[in-house]
Amino acid sequence: MEHILEQEGTIPVVANYDVVVCGGGPAGVCAAIAAGRAGAKILLIEALGCLGGTWTSSLMGYLMDVANKSGIVKEIEAELNACGAVEFYTGDHNCFTFDIEAMKLVLENLCSAAGVELLYHTRVVAAVKENRTLSHVIIESKSGRQAVGGSRFIDCSGDGDLAALAGCSYMVGEPETGNTQPMSFLVLLSGINATDIEPFIGGGSDKPKQLLLEAFHQAGVDPSYGSPTLFKIHDDLFWMMANHQYGVSSTNAADVTRATLEGRQEVFKLVAALRSLGEPWSNVRIVATSSYIGVREGRRINGLYEVSIDDLIAGKEHDNIVCKVSFGVDVHSVDPKHGKGCNVKDKIKVKTPYDIPAESLISRDIDNLMMAGRCISGDFLSHSSYRISGNATMMGEFAGIASAATAK
């Protein structure tokens, strides 16, 4: 392989903070808000142009596992309700759909009120450390290559990017193969009305998914995801999950690019097929595709405690609890040859709720680094449960409070 020697140079340190949060998804937003409210000088770094991550950039307008949650996630729910942006609850009120554009504004307003400094369109590309302590992150943007100092750091990147750059050990995928769960390319749909397609609207049961799959088959197409689902946002606006991209690494740009191209091709083909069926689908149209494909799984950073499938089976409790998880095992098939849906959850009987302990959010290798969201320390099967966004919010809030307290 050909190599180029990069010219050495100095990098300006543009600011120093009590807490630096990397990643503005559900975990990162709540971490930053919590740290800001605790009086910390806080910077939230986000690679894209809005907050919310999978909720917004990936168009997954569905907040899951919230019924037994408290704190900032409940404030988010209340703010969305106040502006008429919550449209559908599951029967147990544990999940709900929301208006994605409203979510972007709600999150920015909450961050602003908490004194969070935001930095959009910026990536963390390197970490500076001495022994087991991080001192700075190196960022790149239109402003060039810069350094930001911090007392405490929180990795909310989803894929554990900061932790990996800092040299932390981690795991990826199934222990036997390293295979990860598929990605999903999501879309927003209009031109249909909730009254006309009510039997096809999912989110709480399998029957609507089966009906939608039969409609696709009737139209002559077979979705790469075996349980395609339509979620209602408004009476005339929906988001759809009907795509699976298998064998994709979230840390490989070429893989993610290929998955994005293939995913967009498929969803347009699927929607055109629905339209060919005539009423009630005759005017269905794609109004938006995700700006970043939905990623279920990346690195799982090794922490002081590893959440395991045994914890789920036992419904394990901890004294130093971060949150209680009530969502079951949800492994999307890593290989379409073995099915194109969620082919594990019915085979493993778990006892919920179970606890996420603080130690699973604390890096084993770096003393002033915490993780929140799907990159915390856990095994492959448990990860498929705790990765849900309602749990990510609680992890983020805990990490923000703890980091602010120890920084001060």
For residue 324, give the nearest of 67, 103, 3, 11 by alpha carbon. 67
pLDDT confidence band for 253 (50 / 70 / 90): very high
**Percent of the chain topping pLDDT 90:** 89
pTM summary value: 0.96
pLDDT at 2: 93
pLDDT at 89: 81
Q: Number of helices (H) and strands (E), helices first, in the chain?
A: 9, 18
pLDDT confidence band for 405 (50 / 70 / 90): very high
The predicted model gives 279-308 an average pLDDT of 98
Strands (DSSP E) contained in 105-198 are: 117-119, 123-130, 133-141, 144-155, 170-172, 187-190
Residues with Cβ within 8 Å of residue 233, at least 6 apart in sequence? 61, 87, 88, 97, 98, 99, 100, 188, 239
User: In this predicted structure, which of 66-70, 205-209, 230-234, 276-280 has the lowest mean pLDDT?
Assistant: 205-209
For residue 232, give the nearest of 202, 271, 272 by alpha carbon. 202
pLDDT at 345: 54
pLDDT at 340: 77
pLDDT digits (tens, 9 = 90+) for 311-333: 999 999 999 999 999 999 999 98
Q: For residue 81, how many other CB atoms are within 10 A of its CB? A: 12
Reading the block at residue 32, the tokens are 């930053």
Q: Give the CATH H-level superfamily of domain 13-176+297-309+356-407.
A: FAD/NAD(P)-binding domain (3.50.50.60)
The domain made up of 187-289 is a member of CATH 3.30.70: yes
Chain position carrying tokens 């914890």 = 311
pLDDT at 4: 92
pLDDT digits (tens, 9 = 90+) for 37-85: 999 999 999 999 999 999 999 999 999 999 999 999 999 999 999 999 9
Residue pair 162/152 in contact (Cβ under 8 Å)? The answer is: no
The predicted model gives 364-372 an average pLDDT of 98
Domain layout of the chain by residue ranges: 13-176+297-309+356-407, 187-289
Residue pair 394/322 in contact (Cβ under 8 Å)? The answer is: yes
pLDDT at 92: 81
Average pLDDT, the chain: 95
Residue 200 has pLDDT above 70, yes or no: yes
pLDDT at 347: 66
